[in-house]
Structures are given as structure tokens and as C-alpha cells.
Amino acid sequence: MRQPALYSRSPRGPAAAPEPALPAADHTPPASSRPWRERLPRWQEQHWRWLALAALLALLAQAFFPATQQRRLTQKDIDAAVLKTLETANLPSPAARAAAAVAPSVVRVAGFVTDKDGEEKEHGLGSGVVIVDSGVILTNLHVVAGANRIELTFHDGTRSGAHMTGAQIHNDLAVLQAQKLPDDLHAATLRSTADLQPGDGVVAVGFPFGIGPSVSSGVVSGLNRSFRSHEGKQQIGNLIQFDAAANPGNSGGPLVTMDGEVVGIVTAILNPSEQRTFIGIGFAVPIENAASAVGMHPF
């Protein structure tokens, strides 16, 4: 079938009557003076319109669809980028992440007494953990028992006095209220020990021998343990046994899961010698018992 012409060179309307021919020399201007389009060969003149249209379309495409437009990312592109990051980036260890999560809530606890000469001296040194952002802190009772003055040092260096508002003698726990709070105080996240199992990773954070905050990592060694103090004065039951290094000064600090959640309060180390050095067995009071000291709802 013959297709209709897209463009027609015929004039619209009835054909005009032909005019008498005149000599070419009288009416035909020289080639150099005719417009450039009229000097083109017929086939070039036919295609000139197509070339102009194509150029216009190219300009429009460049304006509305710039060459710098990015292609849409696919899931394959994202997976490749994540894999490359995992292969090249130095990610923190689980213990480092756990310690960083609880660090803003760990405090240094010092108890002072006044001797017979009227001079103040350090009576007990340990650690504590903020469990309510109003300044409620858990520590060990033996750290602050008998102290005339209690001093706290927070994560940002803020120092504050404190007074004891409660105690659990059978769990060696004391509840402190800070008198001065940092501008941005963080309370630790507490976690039930119901699903805790031997072999689970844990981190102990505190101030052993006053040095810190210090971090040690290990695992839960056992559950529902009992411990009697070296002097035989007190026995504590239902304890978490762990092997993360703990020394004097760690007492009252948090025992933390690899998720950065507190499951216990470090209370004692098993030490059959007089050197009071860590031999691989530490004990912590489960956080359920510790939270009940401040009237917090059990998990």
C-alpha cells in the first residue's frame, strides 16, 4: 500500500495559472546572490528539515535528561558496597562495643573517714553504675559502709557528693543518690538474667585499684553460685560466676552482656590467698536482686 507523504511541497488551494516564461538572464539571479538554502542540491534541501528537527530534539534531551544523571542503585550494588566496607573497615570488637555502651553510666565511688587527728582519709574504693538518670547509683555496701563522706566521679569527670538511701545487707548492695549531676547523665540498660547461660560473653567495667575506667572481658562460668567471704563473715547465694578479670576496686561495677546491658553487680572474687589478686573466679549479684534494692519492678 502506498503510504501518504509526511510533508508535501505542493501549495495549498487551486493551482495558479502559469505565467509567461521570461528569459533566464532577465529574472534568474546569479547563484552567488541566491539564499544559501536555494543553492543546495534538491536532496540536501529535502533533508535539511530533518537535520534541524534532529538537532532540536538533541538539545531538548540534553536539557531534560543531562548526561550526569545517575542510574538507580540496585540491591546488587548495595550488597557489593556493604561487603567491601566489611572487608576493608576495622570494626570494633563485641567487647569494645559493650564497654562503650555502658561507659557513660559507670562511676568511681570513694568512701572517706576522719581519723582521730581530724584528717580525712580514703576508707573504701570501688565502682558503681547509674540505673536511674536522676542520679540513683548501685554499688557494693562494703565500699561505702562506715564512710563519713562519699564522693562520686562520673564519666565526664564531674565530681559529686552522695548519700546512701538504701541497702541490701544480704546481697552486699548499697543504693546511692548523687547530689550533683552531669549535664548529660546516662542510665544503664538493665537486662534479665533469665536467658543467661554459661559461655555467654560478658564484660566487667570498673576501677580496679582505682585505675580506670578499666575493661576486662570473659564469659559466664556458672549460675546460682554461693560465696563466703574470706573472713567468713558473710555468705551470698544465687550469684553469677564469671572469669572476666576483676580486682579490688571493681566491686560495685556492672557486669555487662555483649549487647551492652547490665546483668549483674560485681561483688566478690574468690581468693584463697592474702594477696587479693584475681585467680579467674569472680561473682556478681544478679540485676534482679540489685534492682529490687531500689524498688524497681522485677523483669
Q: Looking at the annotation, which residues are catalytic?
A: 142, 172, 251
Find all residues with CB under 8 Å of 118, minimum gap 6, and list them: none
H or E element, residue 60 = helix 42-64
C-alpha span between 268 and 109 (Å, rounded):
16
Q: Which residue has the cell 536532496?
A: 43
Decide if 269 contacts 246 (C-beta within 8 A): yes
The conformational region for residue 280 under phi > 0 = left, psi -120 to 50 = alpha, else beta, is: left
Alpha-carbon distance of 143 to 134, in angstroms, equals 22
Residue identified by cell 570494633 is: 92
**Residue 119 neighbours by CB under 8 Å, 6+ apart:** none
The three cell numbers of residue 162 are 552522695
DSSP output for 118-145? S-EEEEEEEEEEEEETTTEEEEEHHHHT
